[in-house]
Chains A and B, each alone.
Chain A
Amino acid sequence: DAGVIQSPRHEVTEMGQEVTLRCKPISGHDYLFWYRQTMMRGLELLIYFNNNVPIDDSGMPEDRFSAKMPNASFSTLKIQPSEPRDSAVYFCASTVDRGVPEAFFGQGTRLTVV
């Protein structure tokens, strides 16, 4: 398996534009997590899904952020409209609900909003 795949690796956009980040989890994994990493706040859990269903979105900063998981092999995180303070590295991770749930991370998407 190729691991968790995120796209794009880098995204530069202007303030006010819509941004969509994509994630393909490892096949067979039950859980998918979206994290945001910044120098100021470290690694924050935004939302996570279990079997494609959102379980906890309490970490989503505001209504400008939304996430979907239409099937077991794809998820999106959308920011509309984007703001400079959304600049961060966004990570997707997946895991299985068997034994010890080790999270496997993607390479991340570095988002810069100018």
Chain B
Amino acid sequence: GDSVTQMEGPVTLSEEAFLTINCTYTATGYPSLFWYVQYPGEGLQLLLKATKADDKGSNKGFEATYRKETTSFHLEKGSVQVSDSAVYFCALSVTYSSASKIIFGSGTRLSIRP
């Protein structure tokens, strides 16, 4: 069935380091892809999205490119900050018959050291 697999955490980096969080998916049809972020004590909020192959989503210095050939949507940021410490979720949305469904990966906890 449809699923999302992302790299396990926790990931610990120093401030200003380069970040990559891997995400791959399995889906029938043409899903939309998302990255969500969850700060401590809060719900998930959308970070960026891409709706078709080769689209690049970007927000707050984060980027991810929809790669259909490798079924991937890796999250990257060139220089992380302490405030980026959070849990990051990769997700996809698919439509079954007449209903849509959003499927999340297991989440990757990111900690940034000053």
Q: A residues within 8 Å of B by Cβ?
A: 4, 31, 33, 35, 42-43, 45, 48, 50, 55-56, 91, 93, 95, 97, 100-108
Contact of B102 among A4, A55, A95, A107 (CB under 8 A): A95
Tally of A-B Cβ pairs under 8 angstroms: 59
Given A100-B32, A101-B93, A105-B45, check contact A42 B106 (CB 8 Å): yes
Is B43 an interface position by the 8 A CB rule? yes
- Expressed in whole angstroms, the Cα–Cα distance for A48 and B46 within the complex equals 19
Residues B67-114 near A (CB distance < 8 A) = 89, 91, 93, 98-107
Secondary structure at the A interface, as helix, strand, loop or mixed, is strand
In the complex, chain A residues whose CB is within 8 Å of the CB of B101: 45, 48, 55-56
Q: Are B34 and A43 in contact (CB under 8 A)?
A: no
In the complex, chain B residues whose CB is within 8 Å of the CB of A31: 99-100
Q: B residues within 8 Å of A by Cβ?
A: 32, 34, 36, 42-46, 49, 51, 89, 91, 93, 98-107
Cβ of B7 to closest chain A Cβ, rounded Å: 13
Contact of B93 among A50, A100, A107 (CB under 8 A): A100
Contact of B107 among A42, A55, A101 (CB under 8 A): A42
Given A42-B106, A43-B89, check contact A100 B51 (CB 8 Å): yes
In the complex, chain A residues whose CB is within 8 Å of the CB of B89: 43
